[in-house]
Amino acid sequence: MKYCAIIVACSNQQNVWRKGAWVETPVLLNRELSVLKFNERVLAMVERPGTPLLERLRYLCIVSSNLDEFFEIRIASLKEQQRQSPDLTGADGLTPGEVFQRVQRAVHSLIDRQNRLLTAEVLPQLYEAGIGLLYASGWTDAQRKWAVETFREDVLPMLTPIGLDPAHPFPRVYNKSLNFIVALSGEDAFGREGQIAIVQAPRALPRMMRVPADIAGMPDGYMLLTSLISAFVGDLFPGMDMQGCHQWRVTRNSDLFVDEEEITNLRQALQGELSQRNFGASVRLEIAHAMPADQELFLQREFGLGADDTYRVNGPVNLARLMQMCNQVKRPDLEYPVYRPKVPPPFDGDLDRPADLFAAIAARDHLLHHPYQSFQPVLQFLTAAATDPKVMAIKQTIYRTGEDSALMGLLLSAAQAGKEVTVVVELMARFDEQTNINWAARLEEVGAHVSYGVVGHKTHAKMLLVLRREDGRIRRYGHLGTGNYHSRTARLYTDFGLLTANQAVCEDMDQVFSLLTGLGARRALKLLLQSPFTLHETIQALILGEAENARAGKRARIMAKMNSLLEPTTIKALYEASCAGVRIDLIVRGACALVPGVPNLSENIQVRSIIGRFLEHSRVFYFYQDGAELLYLSSADWMDRNFFRRVELGFPVLDKTLKRRVIDEAFTFALRDNRLAWRALPDGRYEMVRNRRAPMNLHQYLMTRLGG
């Protein structure tokens, strides 16, 4: 036991006897490579025979969108690390340069696989089903006529060609924008010799255009803007000979930097930074598969990128744009069957009066499991709070909520009705900054108290607190969740929510709100765990407590479900618990730095990842605790940022019936899954779980169990 603990504390490598030889296994796996492994598992949904055709396209688009963010944030960070600390070795034992090389190889392989699936399988099969992209090489006379008219009427007037010469330098290129490089020859009206021109596709133009069915020759035919511009770009250069036209786009560093020591107004500082986000340092170049080498080199020099940063694409350079087909085409036979989550009792009954709803919550706690159960009870709770004259105040945190949010509309209505509405809006929620700035402004306009939390600590906790006057006293009611207050993602992401009138829990929530909006010393909470204060230290203590129980010969068990597991000291504690004999089951959807199944280190740890119809998003932590069975739901993954640089909450499930539900729905059934589950291997690879048990699809099972 002691030897294991020393290795964990002092080494990045573990010697393991395998197949007759000692081999080195890293104690921590690389984050970036683990993220790419997750995207490989998502891409495997495209290859799965049972995945409906339009859903296969949707998964391709999801991977493309994930990779965009991966380059904008993770690759950008890697490049910065290479510049600033090229010799620094990370917890995975690799330098930034070594990580970058491995990541580039993995990304190129992933994108090649993605392009092959798109062009060789998904698009041809969609075409056979009457859903197709109409390329210029196959246009009929009617289609060409429609294309010409559409280009000249809707596209051509919007285009501004830029011929490159000393008077026309290379244009400023927007992040992920669609562009074309055009090779020209001949002499123009001013006697200038044609060489290279750049055409930028305006953001106002749709990237896909639906073709009338009688012209398309199929029910759902589309033309890409790329096809129209490539076919008729010569109209922009009359009298010149066009030698070729090829699409390309560049991806830029999109992480925001706000100097926390210098700013006086976070909203103003962020708005200034947002205007520059789309012109950050270049990190990736995507080009048409047929682009000549000299044009590729020209673009690489322009953006300071090399061959490893360049990706040839056989199809649209922004594959995620094809999501429009998934959303517009109405073909139930090519999609997952429609699932309409039920509103669970008592919220499906006669709770027309706000008093009845509050009485139902006062009577007992209520657990919601989205998307298997409807998000409607949360909206009912806030509606009752906004309309009930006995409600004095509403307090809520907002991380992501969407541009068109019924929930935010209810908060606006409550403030307009004269209630005390306090909203902690996280302005630094990545890629939702502008949406949240807009909501903050609207809330302030109607008299709500708007706070931006604590500078340097994103407010990621999900909580909604209602203060109601009953019999001359204030009674608190709360909602706590593992996911965002976002009606759309509540239909796609798996998350737990708890409606409660437990006064200890609700008083803790009030204390957290006071800390976020005001000033004061750290406050002791009765039941809630809070980052950056008690969540990490409590999780550590609970893990090591299970290890102590195992050493004492007692039963010990840990189960945890989350999106990412990366924080080193937590992983080391799990290794120590494994060495002590604790059985540990981890369900980690995405990045996982822990190495499972290594003798004398993690042989008692199993890591699973579940990828299916819904996005696994809930965070659940279970500790046997000598029979007490402590169970927490949380907004936090086990990552450095969640433990130390965010305001997060962990909240206990106290009701025995609800606790049993969470254990079953988060763990018992998930550990039986042999259709969506992947098992992590010690070398960082994953293999699908296949066994002789009866088929078990977790998502389908819970849809049937909770939705009927």
Task: Kindly report the CATH number assigned to the domain that includes residue 81.
Answer: 1.20.58
| Residues 252, 279 contacting (CB under 8 angstroms) | yes
Indicate whether 264 pLDDT > 90. Answer: no
pLDDT of residue 606: 98
End-to-end CA distance of the chain: 49
pLDDT of residue 277: 62
User: Does the residue 575 lie in any domain?
Assistant: yes
User: Does the residue 446 lie in any domain?
Assistant: yes
User: Does the residue 108 lie in any domain?
Assistant: no
- Indicate if 617 and 686 belong to the same structural domain: yes
Average pLDDT for 123-150: 96
Residues 616, 608: Cα–Cα separation, whole Å: 12
CA distances from 624 to 541, 565, 596 (A): 13, 20, 20
User: Which secondary structure element, helix H or strand E, spans residue 515, and what is its range?
Assistant: helix 503-517
- Indicate if 362 and 509 belong to the same structural domain: yes
pLDDT of residue 168: 72
Structure tokens at 507: 């008083």
pLDDT of residue 93: 87
Domain count for the chain, please give it: 4
Question: Quick one: CA dihedral 380, 386, 388, 393, positive or negative?
Answer: positive
Longest dimension (CA), the chain: 91
User: Does the residue 333 lie in any domain?
Assistant: no
At which of 463, 498, 526 does a domain end? Answer: 526
Average pLDDT for 667-691: 96
- Indicate if 541 and 466 belong to the same structural domain: no
At which of 74, 100, 126 does a domain end? Answer: 100
For 137, residues 6+ apart whose C-beta sits below 8 A from its C-beta are: none
Indicate whether 311 pLDDT > 50. Answer: yes
Lowest-pLDDT choice from 117-126, 181-190, 318-327: 181-190
At which of 473, 495, 526 does a domain end? Answer: 526
Lowest-pLDDT choice from 33-47, 288-302, 382-396, 511-525: 511-525
- Indicate if 674 and 566 belong to the same structural domain: yes
Structure tokens at 288: 């048409």
- Indicate if 181 and 315 belong to the same structural domain: yes
Q: Which residue has the higher pLDDT, 9 or 384?
A: 384
Q: Which residue has the higher pLDDT, 186 or 630?
A: 630
pLDDT of residue 11: 42
- Indicate if 81 and 58 belong to the same structural domain: yes
Collapsed DSSP state (helix, strand, coil) of residue 630: strand
- Indicate if 153 and 230 belong to the same structural domain: yes
| Residues 197, 163 contacting (CB under 8 angstroms) | yes
Residue identified by tokens 């007692």 is 554
Task: Find residue 560's DSSP bridge partners.
Answer: 586, 621
Q: DSSP letter at 638? A: B
pLDDT of residue 336: 96
Instruction: Find the DSSP H helices in 610-707.
Output: 640-644, 656-663, 698-707
pLDDT of residue 242: 86
Global pTM value: 0.92
Q: Quick: pLDDT tens for 474-500.
A: 999 999 999 999 999 999 999 999 999
pLDDT of residue 268: 61
User: Does the residue 338 lie in any domain?
Assistant: no
- Indicate if 516 and 645 belong to the same structural domain: no
Q: DSSP letter at 117? A: I
Average pLDDT for 285-313: 95
Indicate whether 572 pLDDT > 50. Answer: yes
Confidence of residue 702 (pLDDT cuts 50, 70, 90): very high
Q: How many alpha carbons fall within 13 Å on the CB side of residue 301? A: 7
Single out the catalytic residue among 366, 370, 457, 460. 460
Indicate whether 317 pLDDT > 80. Answer: yes
Task: Kindly report the CATH number assigned to the domain that includes residue 671.
Answer: 3.30.870.10
Structure tokens at 626: 């000598």
Pairing of strands 196-200, 21-26: unpaired
Q: Quick: pLDDT tens for 178-215.
A: 999 999 888 776 667 768 999 999 989 999 999 999 99
Indicate whether 172 pLDDT > 50. Answer: yes
Structure tokens at 400: 């992501």
Residues 440, 393: Cα–Cα separation, whole Å: 18
Cα 169 from chain centroid (whole Å):
37
460 in active site: yes
pLDDT of residue 701: 97
CA dihedral of 667, 668, 674, 676, whole degrees rounded to 10? -30
Confidence of residue 109 (pLDDT cuts 50, 70, 90): very high
pLDDT of residue 320: 92
Mean residue pLDDT of the chain comes to: 91
pLDDT of residue 164: 83
Question: Quick one: CA dihedral 408, 409, 415, 418, positive or negative?
Answer: negative
Q: How much of the chain, in percent, has pLDDT values that exceed 70?
A: 92
Q: How many alpha carbons fall within 13 Å on the CB side of residue 226? A: 24
Task: Kindly report the CATH number assigned to the domain that includes residue 286.
Answer: 3.30.1840.10
pLDDT of residue 21: 43
User: Does the residue 559 lie in any domain?
Assistant: yes
Residue identified by tokens 């990736």 is 284
User: Does the residue 113 lie in any domain?
Assistant: no
Edge-first strand listing for the sheet containing 220-224: 131-133, 220-224, 208-211
Classify residue 209 as left (phi > 0), alpha (psi -120 to 50) or beta: beta
User: Does the residue 110 lie in any domain?
Assistant: no
Name the residue range of residue 702's domain: 530-707
pLDDT of residue 14: 55
- Indicate if 488 and 534 belong to the same structural domain: no
Pairing of strands 646-652, 529-531: antiparallel
- Indicate if 157 and 295 belong to the same structural domain: yes
- Indicate if 437 and 365 belong to the same structural domain: yes
- Indicate if 517 and 539 belong to the same structural domain: no
